[in-house]
Amino acid sequence: MYPKQLLGRSGRLVAVGLLVAALLLALSACSSPQTTFDPKSDAADKIQTLYILIIVISGAIGAAVLIAMGYLMAKFRERPGVKARQIHGNNTLEVLWTIGPILILVMIGVPTILAIVGATRAPSEDALHVEVVAHQWWWEVNYPGLGPDGGTLTTANELHVPIGREVAISLKSDDVIHSFWVPQLIGKIDSIPGRTNHLEPFTASEVGVYLGQCAEFCGLAHALMRFRVVVDSLGDFERWVEGMNTPPPAPEEESFLASGQSVFIQNCSSCHAVAGTVAAGRIGPDLSRFGSRLTIGAGIMDNTEENLVEWITNVTAVKPVPEGLPTALAELGNGKQAMPRFDDTLTPAQVEAVAAYLRSMTIE
Amino acid sequence: MATNIAILRRPLDPTGAWAWITTVDHKKIGVLYGLTAFAFFILGGVEALVMRLQLAQADLNVVSAATFNQMFTMHGTTMIFMVVMPAGAAFFNFLVPLQIGARDVAFPRLNALSYWLFLFGSILMNFSFFTGSAPDMGWFAYAPLTAANFSTSSSVDYWILGLQVMGVGTLAAGFNFVITIINMRAPGMTLMRMPVFTWMTLIVSFLIIFAFPVITVAITLLLFDRMFGTNFYDITAGADPLLWQHLFWVFGHPEVYILILPSMGIVSDILPTFSRKPLFGYVTIVLAGAVIAFLGFGVWAHHMFTVGMGRWATSAFAVATMAIAVPTGVKVFNWLGTMYGGSIQFRTPMLFALGFISLFMLGGLSGVMHAVVPVDLHQQDTYFVVAHFHYVLFGGSIFGLTAATYYWFPKITGRMMSESIGKTHFALMFVGFNLTFFPMHFLGVLGMPRRIYTYAPDMGWSGTNMAVTIGAFVIAVSIAVFLYNMVRSARVGQPAGANPWGAATLEWSIESPPHHYNFAIVPTIRSQHPLWDEEANTVEPPPLPYVDESSIHMPSPSYWPLLLAMGVTLVAGSLLVWQAHAIAGLTMGAASGALALISVYRWVFEPAVATEVAEGAAAHH
Amino acid sequence: MQYLARSPEAEHATTTGLNNRKLLMWAFLGSDAMFFGPLIATHLIYRTESLQGPIEEILNIPVTTISTFVLLMSSLAMVLALAGIQQGKMGTFRFWTAMTALLGMVFIGFQMVEFTEFAKHGLTPRTNLFGSTFLTLTGFHGAHVTVGIIWLWSLFFASFRGKVKQENSLDVEIAGLYWHFVDIVWIVIFGVIYLVGAFGVEDRVLEGAHALAGLGG
């Protein structure tokens, strides 16, 4: 039979194999909260349009070449009595298939350049400016002008932005190169030490929580350098800013929370800041209104009492630190230090108190 | 010669292991390159499998983050510098002199030096696994992560020094093949009669001699920063970390063509043989290769679309990148044209060549997608890119090199490889490849970044990753089948004869395996297809004349390339020792430097052909 | 029809008629140019980016002009040495080879004085970007000159043992190629790094461009 002859043993193996592969794929193909194919901003929409254009064009070319190849394989397979035609080439054809691709590339190139120009435009006047500083392995988030008295509002690992208002994010790095990427909102741009980069200004189109992740390899815990972008309604965003700018109520004296606060001030404040308290460390993430955060540890765990206790007790169990002593402060390259484990300096009760204190500072 | 101590007396007619250690014969050196590359292919493959086990499901702990980072760094470095490049060099070495009608390369001892530098450089870099400080910063080694304050172990130093040693060997090989091809062709072998594989070797050699100095500078500056406190990549001194990226990719992109052009040449030689007709548009294919290489120096910054270069630089590099698609497309179309009107024989080399065309073409198309910069801002540093370059470098380079192995194995060993095992190998590798790398496109689209050692269960990546891991193991099985086929065929394969495939190029005119002197009498070439009578569509094997072997003077074996390579590698190693212990390092450096200098001196004053050989042979007859 | 004939006479000739080793030197020099290219580019990029310490105001143009002249003259001597060996005049060859090497050594002497002066003024490779790039670039050039000097003296002494003769004047020619290349690299370094730095050529070009833009606008 003709197809059987054509395929032969290896051909049948290939066909069955590819079928199994396709089935496996069909089973596994599902969506992701970090997908690039469900855009939720104007900028991501524009990328999506180009993405589909290029997929369609290259898919069509790929399919055409594969079909042509299959046809040639079938049509010109060795047959008894049929000799190959000694053709050396064909100038007309070769010129045609040089010019053809050039025309197709013009079709792709023009919208590409237009999009590049658009992506590097200046933000509009009423855009919300956010400055993100990447650290090994977390994100510092600053809102110039939104802090108390027109100062800077600082948080970490979670950006809040309002829906419907243009957001202009600038990127810096405190140590090595990182890359800021929230696939559903915007393409990635690197955070480079000594430079300030700018993401294309974007306007989010749907309220929700969007996942982002560092995309440039930045050392040991690169995989755990995640973050969230929370797109709020305008009202929610204003409430969040106001909440961040209001000093947290002091815990009742002698209470469990007060003991947590004092342990925190003694042990944590040289690295961490909490707005409205004496804790003003800048080495680690700012923990103001920590209770309002969705996650801890740069987006790697849900913000629950249990997780936070685990984190403080022995951070090295959940996040690798560079070689060095787990209890002594492991020094990172920029002279800064990784968070130590506290199970040998604090009692479990003290850790629980700190966790409770941090989680008590919420935004209503 | 009597003044020499016994062990260093010139080996005149060594046998066994010594014959290999002291060889300057391009065919033996080619085999050494090939075997070494295959060994590293298995090592790099194991590194890949470790990664795939770790990523098979979310939140696995098969290996630590530190080990995972070492795995992807060494997988990339190994596959590029210790597998694909030397595997290409294996075929350059074995075939180029045979294809142009030469008795050896232009500089046989320099050729041996290239191999030993490659081997020792690779060993030096991999030695880091035993000291627990294997390179872990990615094969691209971006500053400032590689600075002494961010990479505190000697991992980066091992990487630099290993690469430096290998790079010197690669450069020497580049010079050697440029001059061999320009200057050692048999009478009548004009440039436009050369087999395409030899053409691509020439182009790759030019790429090497112009691109490798740039990486040499980049890693020398990094070494100076790390060891002597200079400031080239030190941000606190005002340096720009993008300097590294520019230098690295000015080398790195031509390097991509160094990896793929040999396979393009291989396929261009195999297709005509198994289509039983000449290559369609030989001149166009050769020119396209040259244009690709030339443009390859002008597109480096497309690896840097996310660094914020400014709109016009970005646009220019996007357009240049798209332009490369044109000559690449021309090649693919001309290969299809070669099949048109042919009488196609589906032998194993042809299957791998067809696999190459289809997979490389898909990789090329995803490459064009990266040139669409806004889309690249999504794809960069995700599994989409991993899928893309594996289609090009595995589906392209490795499939091409595998095709070459099946095609030229008979010439190298005198025995055919098993067709039935070969076809099983092809089926497994083709399916395994696509199962591994096609789903990676989806992972990229779903937002999975590269170089992450773990991911959360709710990311929706687990199922696809499992499919990828299964595919990786299918590839591993196919490689085991390949290895079995080679070992078995080398022992019991069918005797091949001079021209088992009825091919047209010059290497098939002589015995398999060839005599150490290749051509008994240097041939005169009168056509692009010296073994084909195209009108009659028949193969005309030339008569093999009897020749008095004593009239052929071949370069004599030598120890000095080996000892020089050892000296150079130990000098590099002494820098590592010096960091831990100054006196020991300096002592070692002085001793190994002396070894290198003595080797150079003895090499220079050693005649290429030892007189005893000629005299002995004359006396014999 | 016979497409493949045998040519016994083609045993030793090269395809182009050029010697392999001479081609090797040309290929090496092409490659070496790609070595100096990035070093020069790195220096130009970082020329004025240093955050501390002395930069190009430290360069002594008059003294370096003299050393540049010395190196240029050594190239002339190299030409005469090659002419000597090609004509079989061993005395001429030896004299001018020694002159070439000596002038090279004088150049290296100048460089050592320059580096020492810089160190006295607090400029080392560790001081700042200028120190790193300038000293690495000129240091690598100095290393090239030093290799050339050793090579030339080797030829000089080998000539007394009858190893350098009119018949193998190619050995001298290849050394000469290398020497001239190293000389040319220095001319580029002197022009691009010393003179541009000293006379602010870049600034003037920019001024000119602004002036032109002003006329146009």
Check if B602 contacts A (Cβ < 8 Å).
no
The answer, yes or no, to whether residue B88 has pLDDT greater than 90, is: yes
Check if A55 contacts B (Cβ < 8 Å).
yes
Q: How confident is the model at residue B409 (pLDDT cuts 50, 70, 90)?
A: very high
**CA A188, CA A202: separation in Å to the nearest integer?**
12
Query: Is B241–A218 a contact, with Cβ atoms under 8 angstroms apart?
Result: no
Q: Do chains A and C touch (3 or more CB pairs under 8 A)?
A: no
Q: How confident is the model at residue B609 (pLDDT cuts 50, 70, 90)?
A: confident
Residue B217's Cβ-count burial label (10 Å; 0-12, 13-18, 19+) is: buried
> In this predicted structure, what is the pLDDT of residue C205?
63
Interface of B with C in 58-87 (CB under 8 A): none
> In this predicted structure, what is the pLDDT of residue C9?
46
Of the segments A6-10, B36-40, B541-545, which one has the largest average pLDDT value? B36-40
Q: Which CA distances in Å does B204 have to A161, B178, B209, B251, B261?
A: 51, 9, 9, 13, 7
Check if C113 contacts B (Cβ < 8 Å).
no
B151 with B135: CB under 8 angstroms?
Answer: no
First and final C-alpha spacing in chain B: 24
User: C93: which 2 tokens?
Assistant: 């060859």
Interface of A with B in 316-335 (CB under 8 A): 320, 322-323, 332-335
Architecture of domain B553-621: Orthogonal Bundle (1.10)
**CA A276, CA A281: separation in Å to the nearest integer?**
13
> In this predicted structure, what is the pLDDT of residue B167?
97
Query: Is B306–A189 a contact, with Cβ atoms under 8 angstroms apart?
Result: yes
Positive or negative, the CA dihedral B532, B533, B535, B537 is: negative
The answer, yes or no, to whether residue A4 has pLDDT greater than 50, is: no
Q: How confident is the model at residue B2 (pLDDT cuts 50, 70, 90)?
A: very low
> In this predicted structure, what is the pLDDT of residue A328?
45
Check if B235 contacts C (Cβ < 8 Å).
no
Is this complex's ipTM strictly greater than 0.90? yes
Q: Which of B217, B522, B535 sits opposite C7 (nearest CB)?
A: B522
**CA B586, CA B575: separation in Å to the nearest integer?**
8
The answer, yes or no, to whether residue C204 has pLDDT greater than 90, is: no
Q: Counting runs of H as helices and runs of E as strands, what totals does chain C give?
A: 7, 1
In the block, residue with structure tokens 């067809």 = B354
Amino acid letter, B514: P
Q: Which CA distances in Å does C29 have to B330, C81, C114, C169, C178?
A: 33, 21, 27, 20, 7
Nearest to C59 by CA among C210, C200, C203, C167: C200
The answer, yes or no, to whether residue B116 has pLDDT greater than 60, is: yes
A357 with A261: CB under 8 angstroms?
Answer: yes
The chain-wide mean pLDDT, for chain A, equals 90
Query: Is B213–C129 a contact, with Cβ atoms under 8 angstroms apart?
Result: no
Distance from CA of C88 to the nearest CA of B (A): 23
The mean pLDDT value for A298-320 works out to 93
In the CATH hierarchy, which top-level class contains the domain A1-8+31-86+121-246? mainly beta
Q: Which of B182, B506, B529 sits opposite C23 (nearest CB)?
A: B182
Amino acid letter, B435: L
Beta strands in B122-172 (DSSP E): none
Q: How confident is the model at residue C201 (pLDDT cuts 50, 70, 90)?
A: low
Q: Which of B106, B183, B238 sits opposite C50 (nearest CB)?
A: B238
**CA A143, CA A159: separation in Å to the nearest integer?**
10
> In this predicted structure, what is the pLDDT of residue B169?
97
**Stronger pLDDT, B615 or A46, i.e. the higher one:** A46
Chain A residues touching B362 at Cβ < 8 A: 62
* Strand A128-135 to A166-173 pairing: parallel
Q: How confident is the model at residue B4 (pLDDT cuts 50, 70, 90)?
A: very low
Chain C interface test: which of B178, B183, B202 (most C C-beta within 10 Å): B183
Q: Do chains B and A touch (3 or more CB pairs under 8 A)?
A: yes
The mean pLDDT value for C57-63 works out to 88
Q: What is the pLDDT of residues A324-340, one digit of tens each?
A: 544 445 566 666 778 88
**CA B284, CA B289: separation in Å to the nearest integer?**
8
Chain B residues touching C42 at Cβ < 8 A: 217, 221, 232, 243, 247
**CA C141, CA B428: separation in Å to the nearest integer?**
54
Amino acid letter, B50: V
The answer, yes or no, to whether residue A31 has pLDDT greater than 90, is: no
Distance from CA of B23 to the nearest CA of C (A): 21
**CA A239, CA A236: separation in Å to the nearest integer?**
5
Distance from CA of C174 to the nearest CA of B (A): 14
The answer, yes or no, to whether residue B292 has pLDDT greater than 90, is: yes
Check if B106 contacts C (Cβ < 8 Å).
yes
- Please give the DSSP secondary-structure letter assigned to residue B531: T
Query: Is B530–C4 a contact, with Cβ atoms under 8 angstroms apart?
Result: yes
Q: Give the domain ranges of chain A.
A: 1-8+31-86+121-246, 256-360
| Run of H or E residues at A42 | helix A42-75
> In this predicted structure, what is the pLDDT of residue C190?
94
**CA C4, CA B186: separation in Å to the nearest integer?**
11
Chain B residues touching A176 at Cβ < 8 A: 142, 144-145, 150
The mean pLDDT value for A347-362 works out to 95
* DSSP codes, C10-43: GSS--SSSS-HHHHHHHHHHHHHHHHHHHHHHHH
Q: What is the pLDDT of residues A94-145, one digit of tens each?
A: 999 999 999 999 999 999 999 999 998 999 999 999 999 999 999 999 999 9
Check if B134 contacts A (Cβ < 8 Å).
no
Q: Which of C11, C15, C31 sits opposite B182 (nearest CB)?
A: C15
Check if C30 contacts B (Cβ < 8 Å).
yes
B298 with B322: CB under 8 angstroms?
Answer: no
- Please give the DSSP secondary-structure letter assigned to residue C192: I
**CA C130, CA C123: separation in Å to the nearest integer?**
9
Phi, psi torsion values for A191, nearest 5 degrees? -95, 115
> How would you label B56-82 residue by residue, b for 16+ Cβ within 10 Å and e otherwise?
bbeeeebbebbebbbbbbbbbbbbbbb
Check if A215 contacts B (Cβ < 8 Å).
yes
* DSSP codes, A164-232: TSEEEEEEEESSS-EEEEETTTEEEEEE-BT--EEPPPEEB-S-EEEEEE--S--STTGGG-EEEEEEE
Instruction: Give me the CATH topology for the region A256-360.
Output: Immunoglobulin-like (2.60.40)
**CA A134, CA A27: separation in Å to the nearest integer?**
37
The mean pLDDT value for B594-620 works out to 71
The mean pLDDT value for C139-165 works out to 94
Residues 6+ apart with CB under 8 A from B184: B97, B100, B102, B105, B106, C14, C15, C20
The answer, yes or no, to whether residue B506 has pLDDT greater than 50, is: yes
| Run of H or E residues at A154 | strand A152-156
Q: Which CA distances in Å does A321 have to A10, A329, A332, B130?
A: 49, 10, 9, 22
Residue C91's Cβ-count burial label (10 Å; 0-12, 13-18, 19+) is: exposed
Domains of chain C: 63-199 (1.20.120.80)
Q: What is the pLDDT of residues B429-472, one digit of tens each?
A: 999 999 999 999 999 999 999 999 999 999 999 999 999 999 99
Instruction: Give me the CATH topology for the region B24-538.
Output: Cytochrome C Oxidase; Chain A (1.20.210)
Nearest to C70 by CA among C99, C29, C34: C99
User: B252: which 2 tokens?
Assistant: 């790195």
Provide, rounded to the nearest whole percent, the portion of chain B with pLDDT above 90. 84
Phi, psi torsion values for A90, nearest 5 degrees? -155, 105
HSE of B254, CA atoms in CB hemisphere, 13 A = 25
Same fold for the pair A1-8+31-86+121-246 and A256-360: yes
What is the SS3 assignment for C130? Answer: helix
- Please give the DSSP secondary-structure letter assigned to residue B53: H
